[in-house]
Amino acid sequence: MGLDIHHFKITEKYDTDLEYFFLDQLAACPEMISRHEHLIAEVKEPEGYFDVLIFKNQKELHAYAQKHPVPSDSAFIVGGADHLEQELKKSVHQYNLIPSDFYSVQHSYTHTSFFIKTNITYTRRCYSMNYIRRKVLYHTDAGYQRSGMNSQFFKHFTNDTLYFRKEDVISALRYIYDDDPSYYKELVDNFQHNFIDNFIEGDSIFFISW
């Protein structure tokens, strides 16, 4: 985690690794959509995911389930090496999932009971469901900054938000961390050059995440 600040620009799809925004994510800037109407593309995206949570043993599964009941779009199983594949096949068949269309993520959870803490690690296997076509615009990177902002920045900007106005980008400059004079100049120069000078309303997106 940590603060990441991006300057994206809408572009044609010239590379298969380019990322994109769904049109509904850009709805706050209709000028951007109309200006780049000729670049709008379609992608097939899962409408959702079915999660299979794999625990080491029944005890850890029950401990986790006490605080996290099984939702309708998930299944909990025990993943011992001797029968994991069999259990996964059962879930795939029962919920009509595509066996090869998934990704896996490791998680950890601390369970507390009667002041005793137990660390639980489990695997979340996410199966894609219900593919739909969605309209998108591709983007490229025009600027990037990692951290470098003071605490006031987080009061004036919102996490995981797209900003389309240049005045918002200019206002962010005042929150650059200034305790180290040499580092401050480097940050200001980078921000001025890669975020402000080349920001074009209708083409550019200022994106913040932490």
Q: How confident is the model over 21-49, as pLDDT tens digits?
A: 999 999 999 999 999 999 999 999 999 99
Same-domain pairing of 52 and 39: no
Same-domain pairing of 155 and 190: yes
Instruction: Please give the pLDDT value at position 181.
Output: 86
Question: What is the number of domains present in the chain?
Answer: 2
Q: Which helix (H) or strand (E) holds 169?
A: helix 166-172
Handedness of CA 12, 15, 16, 22 (dihedral sign): negative
Same-domain pairing of 128 and 178: no
pLDDT (average), residues 1-22: 93
Burial of 199 (0-12, 13-18, 19+ CB in 10 A): buried
β-sheet bridge partners, residue 176? 149
Instruction: Please give the pLDDT value at position 171.
Output: 98
Same-domain pairing of 27 and 96: no
Last residue of a domain, one of 132, 161, 191: 132
SS3 54: strand
Same-domain pairing of 83 and 31: no
Structural domain including 26 reads 4-44+139-209
Lowest mean pLDDT among 10-24, 67-81, 98-112, 128-142: 67-81
Same-domain pairing of 103 and 62: yes
Query: Residue 178, Cβ neighbours under 10 Å: how many?
Result: 14
Same-domain pairing of 199 and 159: yes
Instruction: Please give the pLDDT value at position 128.
Output: 96
Instruction: Please give the pLDDT value at position 81.
Output: 65
Last residue of a domain, one of 132, 163, 181: 132
Same-domain pairing of 54 and 121: yes
Inter-residue contact 88 to 52 (CB < 8 Å): yes
Same-domain pairing of 40 and 143: yes
**Rounded-to-integer distance, Cα 118 and Cα 79, Å:** 18
Give this prediction's pTM. 0.76
Mean pLDDT of the chain: 94
Same-domain pairing of 33 and 57: no
Q: For residue range 77-113, what is the model confidence (pLDDT) as tens digits? A: 998 767 888 889 999 999 999 999 999 999 999 988 8
Last residue of a domain, one of 117, 132, 147: 132
Same-domain pairing of 37 and 95: no
Same-domain pairing of 126 and 150: no
